[in-house]
Structure 1
Amino acid sequence: MSRRMALAGLGALGLSGPAVRAAPGGLPSNVGHADSSPQWEELRAKLWGREPIAAGEASKVQLIVPLRAAFGASVPVKVLSKLPQTEALHVKRMTLLVDKNPAPIAAVLDMSPRMGQADLETRLRVDEYGHVRVVSELSDGSLHMDSRYCKVSGGCSAPPNRDQLHNIGKTVFRLPEGLKADGPTPAEVSVVHPNDTGFELNHITVMYIPPHYVRLIKVSYDGEALFNAEVGFSLSENPSLRFKLMARPGGRLNAEVEDTKEGRFRGQLALA
Structure 2
Amino acid sequence: MLATKLAPLAFGLVLAAAGAALAAGPSDTDAEREARWRDVAASIFKDRTIQPTETLVKVEAPKRAEDAALVPITLTMPEKDKVQAVHLVIDDNPSPYAAHFRFGPAADPSELRLRVRVNSYTNVHAVAETKDGALYEATKFVKASGGCSAPMGMSDEEAMKGMGEMRMKFAGEAQAGKPVEATLMIRHPNFSGMQMNQITRDYTPARYVNKITVDTGNRNVFVMDGDISIASNPVINFAFLPAGPVKVTATDNQGGRWEHSFTAPSASN
TM-score range, shorter chain: 0.7 to 0.9
Q: Structure 2 unaligned runs (5+)?
A: 1-8
**Counterpart residue identity of residue 64, structure 1:** E
Query: Is the helix fraction higher in 1 or 2?
Result: 2
Deviations 1:58-83 (A, max 9, x none): x4111101101100000000000011
Equivalent residue in structure 1 for 2:43, among 31, 35, 46? 46
The DSSP-based 3-state class of the residue aligned with 1:116 is: strand
Offset, 1:44: 1.5
Q: Distance in 1 between matches of 2:25 and 2:143?
A: 16
Offset, 1:125: 0.3
Equivalent residue in structure 1 for 2:141, among 137, 141, 149? 149
Aligned to 1:6: 13
Equivalent residue in structure 2 for 1:72, among 50, 57, 68? 68
Closer/same/farther in 2, CA of residues 110 and 170 from structure 1, 3 Å limit: same
- Which structure 2 residues correspond to residues 244-255 of structure 1 after superposition, within 5 A? 244-247=239-242, 251-255=244-248
Closer/same/farther in 2, CA of residues 264 and 212 from structure 1, 3 Å limit: same
Aligned to 2:59: 63
Offset, 1:267: 1.6
TM-score, with length taken from structure 2: 0.85
Offset, 1:107: 0.6
Aligned to 2:92: 100
Q: Distance in 1 between matches of 2:130 and 2:206?
A: 33
Equivalent residue in structure 1 for 2:184, among 174, 177, 189? 189
Task: Report how many aligned residue pairs link the two structures.
Answer: 253
Contact 2:17 2:39 in 1 (8 A): no
TM-score, with length taken from structure 1: 0.85
Contact 2:10 2:227 in 1 (8 A): no
- Which structure 2 residues correspond to residues 1-272 of structure 1 after superposition, within 5 A? 4-6=11-13, 11-14=17-20, 16=23, 20=27, 31=30, 36-57=33-54, 59-85=55-81, 90-162=82-154, 163-181=158-176, 183-247=178-242, 251-272=244-265
Aligned to 1:24: none
Q: What CA RMSD, in Å, does the superposition of the two structures yield over aligned residues?
A: 2.4
Offset, 1:54: 2.5
